[in-house]
Amino acid sequence: MQSVKIGILGLGTVGSGTVSVLKRNAREISRRAGRDIEIFTAADRDTDKNFDCDLTGVALTDDAFSVVNNPEVQIVVELIGGTGVARDLVMQAIDNGKHVVTANKALIAMHGNELFANAQEKGVTIAFEAAVAGGIPIIKAMREGLAGNRIEWLAGIINGTGNYILTEMRDKGRNFSDVLVEAQALGYAEADPTFDVEGIDAAHKLTIMASIAFGIPLQFYKCYTEGISKIAQEDVQYAAELGYRIKHLGIAKRTASGVELRVHPTLIPHRRLIANVNGVMNAVVVKGDAVGPTLYYGAGAGSEPTASAVVADIVDIVRALTSDPENRVPHLAFQPDAIKDTPILPMSEVTTSYYLRIQTEDKPGVLANITRIFSEQGINIEAILQKQPEDDEGLVPIIMLTQPVAEQNMDEAIAQIEALDTVKTTIMRIRMETLG
Ligand SMILES: NC(=O)C1=CN([C@@H]2O[C@H](COP(=O)(O)OP(=O)(O)OC[C@H]3O[C@@H](n4cnc5c(N)ncnc54)[C@H](O)[C@@H]3O)[C@@H](O)[C@H]2O)C=CC1
Ligand SMILES: N[C@@H](CC=O)C(=O)O
Ligand code: NA
């Protein structure tokens, strides 16, 4: 039987990993796919650099459009990244009747609705397993393995770079920027690393998972996004003293009035499995009404872990080449005409517990004022930790854990406490989840 010809766009970290895995495991992969997979052509804008893979037998070009317009190519594998030229290339590939595999979460989260509609019309597939949690087959698990469930919520560590930074800060007391430079050198970070540390990359991935979980359109711009760059070493230590770890979580939850969609640092009880997911590893907990909580764990970034997901998508497409488009697994798990516009809730309506660090002067009555404000806002305190004066100004950190409260009440309480004469700096707040 004839081999299936693919064209790869971008031979960086993920592209070179994909070439290496396809070549090294060629026999095993074709036994699974039923056909040989041939890397017919590949494009990189810089064809003179030293590629981290063996390109023997691959026609290399610096013109990515020549790959998507090549009539021999059946599957285009987009590994350039971004939403500029990558979007044009993917659109062109679909218009040319080619299937697409991509690792590009920004592209799917921001332009997926139009891309899927176009792919549906042209009878081709866009596969994007590598776009969420790297090598973990989370898209497949949710779209196919959990198809019998009403998914209630999901929560995940879905950025390897951010988790690597938080782990190194906690375990080795290293500073934020040194660890980020290392994560970049290891090929984990996005082209613009603020996407990793400010939660944008996690928000892209969460947007995609929420659509698959709840059958709603992709709505990246409605995702609440808060990064980890303000987390101080002392917050990591105080959280540990109270029995918690700080993790950067993406959380999507179905409520009676809509869907919560939020990315922020979160305190999690240290005994939870997900609190012990370290380094570049990712983990996602998905709670279905029938199955209960399920946990998916693995490498969330890196060359070959991500290539593992890219190659699995290629195999899926090769297997489906002979099936009718309408019998294929829908892009967002639900049939396109069954996608519902359930509202994404504003953060003011989200209810969580909180960790607060308040820097105050060490004077009588300070705590009484704070607790009075809490009580007026209906906020119950779960635990208090008062430390010795730590800075030159003699300010005392008071650490508080609260019971669940609506975000709008907490916003009001924080505004009033920050206005007190004795409170000298902005209050550090981190939301908490039990994930039970
Ligand atoms: N690095 C990782 O661990 C992961 C990356 N991803 C995603 O995979 C995609 C690729 O990421 P990386 O491989 O890390 O990036 P990279 O920067 O290492 O590789 C991108 C490659 O594309 C080439 N390129 C740029 N513009 C081009 C153009 N117009 N035509 C042809 N080639 C062009 C660059 O020269 C480079 O070799 C991104 O969408 C990223 O978000 C997804 C999961 C994990
Ligand atoms: N920059 C991303 C790469 C994978 O998606 C991350 O660090 O997780
Ligand atoms: Na994945």
Catalytic residue among 140, 205, 253, 287: 205
Instruction: Kindly state whether residue 368 falls inside one of the protein's structural domains.
Output: yes
Residues 243, 117, single domain; the answer is: no
Instruction: Tell me how far apart the terminal alpha carbons of the chain are, to the nearest angstrom.
Output: 51
Element (H, E) at 402: strand 396-402
Q: Model-level pTM greater than 0.80?
A: yes
Find out whether 422 is annotated in a ligand binding site: no
- For residue 436, what pLDDT is reported? 76
Domain containing residue 402: CATH number = 3.30.70.260
- Can you list the positions of beta strands (E) in 103-147? 126-127
At 320-356, the pLDDT tens digits run 998 888 888 999 999 999 999 999 999 999 999 999 9
ipTM of the prediction:
0.99
- DSSP helix/strand/coil, 368: helix
| Distance (Å) from CA 293 to ligand 3 centroid | 18
Q: Range of 375's domain? A: 349-432
- How many CA atoms lie less than 13 Å away from 336 in the CB half-sphere? 15
Find out whether 190 is annotated in a ligand binding site: yes
β-strand 381-386 against 396-402: which pairing, if any? antiparallel
Residues 376, 409, single domain; the answer is: yes
- Residue 283: is its pLDDT beyond 80? yes
Residues 194, 146, single domain; the answer is: yes
Report CA-CA distances (Å) from 43 to 76, 79, 311.
Answer: 11, 10, 18
- For residue 391, what pLDDT is reported? 65
Find out whether 10 is annotated in a ligand binding site: yes
Q: Is the CB of 201 under 6 A from ligand 2?
A: yes
At 278, the amino acid letter reads N
pLDDT average, residue stretch 370-385? 96
Interatomic CA distance for residues 341 and 338, integer angstroms: 10
pLDDT tier for residue 64 given thresholds of 50, 70 and 90: very high
| Closest CA to ligand 1's atom 8 | 103
At 122-145, the pLDDT tens digits run 999 999 999 999 999 999 999 999
Instruction: Kindly state whether residue 241 falls inside one of the protein's structural domains.
Output: yes
At 91-101, the pLDDT tens digits run 999 999 999 99
Q: What are phi and psi of 94, to 5 degrees?
A: -65, -45
Tokens of 150: 């009403």
| Distance (Å) from CA 299 to ligand 2 centroid | 10
pLDDT tier for residue 115 given thresholds of 50, 70 and 90: very high
Residues in contact with ligand 1 by the CB-under-6-Å rule are: 9-15, 43-46, 64, 79-81, 85, 103-105, 130, 134, 187-188, 190-191, 301-302, 306
Residues 288, 309, single domain; the answer is: no
Residues 34, 93, single domain; the answer is: yes
Q: Is the CB of 102 under 6 A from ligand 2?
A: no
Q: For residues 136 and 300, is the Cβ–Cβ distance under 8 A?
A: yes
Q: For residues 134 and 313, is the Cβ–Cβ distance under 8 A?
A: no
Interatomic CA distance for residues 277 and 159, integer angstroms: 12
Q: For residues 388 and 335, is the Cβ–Cβ distance under 8 A?
A: no
Residues 159, 291, single domain; the answer is: yes
Q: Is the CB of 134 under 6 A from ligand 2?
A: yes
Query: What are the respective helix, strand and coil percentages of the chain, to the nearest 5?
Result: 40, 25, 35
Instruction: Kindly state whether residue 87 falls inside one of the protein's structural domains.
Output: yes
Ligand 2 atom closest to Cα of residue 130: 5
- For residue 389, what pLDDT is reported? 65
- Residue 390: is its pLDDT beyond 70? no
pLDDT tier for residue 77 given thresholds of 50, 70 and 90: very high
pLDDT tier for residue 169 given thresholds of 50, 70 and 90: confident
Share of the chain above pLDDT 90, in %: 90
Residues 145, 96, single domain; the answer is: no
Tokens of 367: 């705590």
To the query of whether residue 205 is one of the catalytic residues in this protein, the response is yes
| Distance (Å) from CA 141 to ligand 3 centroid | 9
Interatomic CA distance for residues 435 and 430, integer angstroms: 15
pLDDT average, residue stretch 290-299? 97
R_g of the chain computed on alpha carbons? 24
Instruction: Kindly state whether residue 402 falls inside one of the protein's structural domains.
Output: yes
Residues 114, 225, single domain; the answer is: no
Residues 294, 149, single domain; the answer is: yes
Instruction: Kindly state whether residue 313 falls inside one of the protein's structural domains.
Output: yes
**Average pLDDT of every residue of the chain:** 95
Total number of domains constituting the chain: 3
Find out whether 308 is annotated in a ligand binding site: no
Q: For residues 247 and 275, is the Cβ–Cβ distance under 8 A?
A: yes
| Distance (Å) from CA 266 to ligand 1 centroid | 29
Domain containing residue 262: CATH number = 3.30.360.10
Find out whether 12 is annotated in a ligand binding site: yes
Mark which of 338, 359, 390 sits at the end of a domain: 338
Domain containing residue 63: CATH number = 3.40.50.720
pLDDT average, residue stretch 213-227? 98
Residues 38, 64, single domain; the answer is: yes
Residue that has been written with the tokens 């994930």 in this structure:
435
Residues 317, 228, single domain; the answer is: no
At 186-216, the pLDDT tens digits run 999 999 999 999 999 999 999 999 999 999 9
pLDDT average, residue stretch 113-129? 97
pLDDT tier for residue 84 given thresholds of 50, 70 and 90: very high
- Residue 363: is its pLDDT beyond 90? no
Instruction: Kindly state whether residue 344 falls inside one of the protein's structural domains.
Output: no
Residues 331, 192, single domain; the answer is: no
Cβ < 5 A residues, ion ligand 3: 129, 132-133, 136, 138, 309
- For residue 322, what pLDDT is reported? 80
Instruction: Kindly state whether residue 420 falls inside one of the protein's structural domains.
Output: yes
- Residue 147: is its pLDDT beyond 80? yes
Angle between helices 200-214 and 105-122 (to 10 degrees): 40
- For residue 386, what pLDDT is reported? 87
At 5-46, the pLDDT tens digits run 999 999 999 999 999 999 999 999 999 999 999 999 999 999
Mark which of 338, 358, 388 sits at the end of a domain: 338
Q: Is the CB of 108 under 6 A from ligand 2?
A: no
Instruction: Kindly state whether residue 343 falls inside one of the protein's structural domains.
Output: no
**Residue whose C-alpha is closest to residue 156's, from 32, 291, 272, 307:** 272
- Residue 154: is its pLDDT beyond 80? yes
- Residue 152: is its pLDDT beyond 80? yes
